[in-house]
Structure 1
Amino acid sequence: MPERSVATLPKAHLHLHFTGSLRIATLRDLADKHDVRLPEALLAQWPPKLSARDERGWFRFQRLYDAARACVTDESDLRRLVREAAQDDVAEGSRWLEIQVDPTSYASGLGGITPALEIVLDEARSASADLPIGVGVIVAASRLKHPMDARALARLAARHAGDGPGEVIGFGLSNDERRGVTTDFAPAFRIARKAGLASVPHSGELLGPDAVNETLGSLQPSRLGHGVRSVESHSVLNRVVDSGVALEVCPGSNVALGVYRTPQEVPLRTLAEAGATIALGADDPLLFGNRLADQYRSAREDHGFTDRELAALARSSIDASFAPADVRKAAYADIDAWLESPGDQAQRDVDDA
């Protein structure tokens, strides 16, 4: 029997960065619109060759990300980005998207962080009404900035907290996890949690299990962005599993940034067999050249996941999401229907293309 299409498997997408979600064609269009000269790596050489094994490698990654972010400057750009991210996820079977944004990155041309965030939220509501997907927003602070900036963002996120499409559903911490002191950001996360927001910091990709342990203790996460290197310590992995903290695993990111040399080295099977709650994510498709469905293809092709195991991963992504109950219920039913359906050779050919 032909394998079922991973693009039609209902799922949730919980790890997608705002600028990093851009289509490469859209980025080039926005660069022309704003007369921004893009680096060659975002033109003829795309997707770029990256590494984050050292500071120089991370600097190159950040330089490319900043070049892309410079092309997103006005309200129509932000709205286009949100709308296209939702459209792309719909095309890959996603029923719920949680997109992560630091509004300070777009504030200068829009009158401040509040109007920047409100534009994103408004378009997330609009896209959710127009498309068969719900879009929630995670406000994320940067490790490269002062912890006081994180507190300001947490207060902003708290003012827009909610539990549905077009609302802030969580608070995160992103950028190079080798920078900053994790415990210094704990007050910001306390502000967010008091407002009912979930804690979803990055940890355990560029640094190992000690960093995961520290994040678990100081930020009290509901999920970890990445967390894959918890496998390097049995005690830390057991703590993750026993605490029920879900892991947003992004295989394409792990390989592109040099955390693992090959897709086969990503410890997806180890995490699954340990009982971890896993939500596959694309992280930054703009720079890594692969999207959400590609992560499921990697699970199948590089780790030998059967369709039943892929369905379990999809259910796990819904489990780990902050989607409303009706969205979750419908997604679970449709995952079951996907698993009961016959494989579609024609759609498989599309997957393989």
Structure 2
Amino acid sequence: MAENKTTTRVSVPKVELHCHIEGAAPPSLVKRLAERDGIDVSRIISPDGKYIWSDFTSFLKAYDLASSVFRTPADYGLLAETYFRMLAAEGAIYGEVFISPDHARAGGLSYQSYVEGIAAGIERAKIDTGIEGRMIAIGVRHFGAGSVERVIKEVLAFQHPMVTGFGLAGDEREGHPANFAKAFRMAKEAGLGLTAHAGEFGGAESVTAALEFLGVSRLGHGVKAIEDKALVRRLVEEGIVLEVCPGSNTALGVYPVLRFHPVNLLRRQGVRITLNSDDPPFFRTTLGKEYSSVAETFGWSFEDQLDVTLTGIEAAFCDEATRQRLRVRLDSAKEKLDA
């Protein structure tokens, strides 16, 4: 290629591995469903249609209230279809979303109804856009080991082909990963891909603990690993993939600005990283913005961004036939670039 640009006329194919389905809800959709059921969301949605929160605690409260408007399988289907269409419009060819059976239960939905609703929405988006989608069921660590084990038992009792992974989210400061080892063993024996949030608000030690006790191949965030050189070497040697969410990290104050974020340093040291949006409308970001802002800030070329997408494809919790189709689509974009 004659020149090295961070942007190009050819759209970068994108892959997302870290996004919470409830956290992907556009404020406009939340407001519409809230008005239908007489729910007051004015304290979390501004007159100009933006989510309102000021710190991590108020973010969680806003997240829970926004999630509460999704009450039926059809509601979740609409949410999933809306989000996957948005992803596809930004050039995404594959997306995985975290699903929270605990949120579904709080809204009166069974696990099966919840999953079937989301799956229907993903399928509708795929028919029109070609985007592939999968789900990762997550347990919430601050609800305790019993709650996390209940989630994996629900997953195993109703095995849906789109639910291909199991993970751990929630407050990293509560509950040592050892407490959840049984749930992760059950998930591994069932053939599910494993990931866990660590190294976001917890330090490098939280990353080490997740690796030691949960047997994950991916880590949600994981960026605080940069604080431990030996741990960074371990991530490289074991091929652990980090689901990095720079916009989320800066919005929540984990890092003050993007140029201080360690995503570039981690990648330069050989750590396998992907780019993700986490809870995009809450953090006023999108997957496309994550790619473009990181590329602009750190001078990543089109080829660098393609490499990030390839890492996402290789780390995805999907079957090999789907993975190969995604590789073909990525190769097609490379050919257009070289032409």
Letter in 2 for 1:189: F
Unpaired runs of 5+ residues, structure 2, are none
Shift of 1:310: 1.2
Shift of 1:230: 0.5
Correspondences of 1:124-273 after superposition (within 5 Å): 124-161=122-159, 167-273=162-268
Shift of 1:125: 4.0
Question: Is 1:334 paired with 2:329?
Answer: yes
CA distance in 1, matches of 2:109, 2:335: 51
Instruction: Select which of 90, 93, 97 maps to 2:91.
Output: 93
Change (3 A) 1:331 1:167: closer
Which amino acid in the other structure matches residue 190 of structure 2?
A
CA shift for structure 1 position 213: 0.4
Where 1:88 maps in the other structure, the secondary structure is helix
Distance 1:315 1:102, change over 3 A: same
State the distance in 2 between where 1:24 and 1:137 align. Answer: 22
After superposition, the C-alpha distances for 1:47-79 in whole angstroms (9 at most, x for unaligned) are 5454xxxxxx32111111011011111222111
Runs of 4+ in 1 over 3 A off after TM superposition: 47-50, 108-111, 121-131, 159-162, 339-343
Does structure 1 retain, via aligned residues, the 8 Å contact 2:188–2:194? yes
TM-score (norm 1): 0.88
Contact 1:39–1:67 at 8 Å: present in 2 too?
no
What's the counterpart of residue 104 of structure 1?
A: 102
Preserved contact between residue 260 and residue 266 of structure 1 (Cα < 8 Å):
yes
1:304/1:67 CA distance change after superposition, 3 Å: same
Counterpart residue number, 1:20: 23
Distance in 2 between the 1:179 and 1:114 partners? 28
Do the aligned partners of residues 265 and 5 (structure 1) sit closer, same or farther apart at CA in structure 2, a change above 3 Å counting? farther
1:298 equivalenced with 2:293 (yes/no): yes
What amino acid maps onto 1:28 in structure 2?
A: K
**CA spacing shift, 1:10–1:159, aligned 2, 3 Å:** farther
* Match of residue 347 from structure 1: none
Deviations 1:310-345 (A, max 9, x none): 1111111111112333433333333344344359xx
Give the counterpart of 1:4 among 4, 8, 16: 8
- Matched-pair contact (CA < 8 Å) for 1:11–1:318: no
**Structure 1 residue 137: deviation in Å?**
0.7
Letter of the 2:262 counterpart: P
Deviations 1:280-333 (A, max 9, x none): 110001210101011101121111111111111111111111233343333333
How far apart, in 1, do the equivalents of 2:85 and 2:103 lie?
23
Q: How far apart in 2 are the matches of 1:5 and 1:36? A: 44
Conserved in 2, the CA contact under 8 Å of 1:161 and 1:196?
A: no
Partner of residue 286, structure 1:
281
Kept in 1, the 8 Å contact 2:244–2:274? The answer is yes
Aligned residues of 1:11 and 1:94 also touching (Cα < 8 A)? yes
Q: Quote the Cα distance in structure 2 between the aligned partners of 1:327 and 1:293.
A: 22
Unpaired stretches in structure 1, ≥5 consecutive residues: 51-56, 344-353
User: Is residue 226–residue 266 contact of structure 2 (8 Å, CA) maintained in 1?
Assistant: yes
1:45-60 correspondence to structure 2 within 5 Å: 46-48=50-52, 50=54, 57-60=55-58
The yes-or-no answer on 1:317 pairing with 2:312 is yes
In the alignment, is residue 78 of structure 1 matched against residue 81 of structure 2? no
Distance 2:162 2:83 in 1: 16
The total of aligned residue pairs comes to: 333
Partner of 1:54: none
Matched residue, 1:29: 32
Within the alignment, does 1:38 sit opposite 2:41 as a pair? yes
TM-score (norm 2): 0.91
Judged with a 3 Å threshold, the aligned counterparts in structure 2 of structure 1 residues 224 and 246 are, in CA distance, closer, same or farther, namely same
RMSD: 2.1
Query: Which amino acid in structure 2 is aligned with residue 141 of structure 1?
Result: G
d(CA) in 2 for partners of 1:112 and 1:314?
34
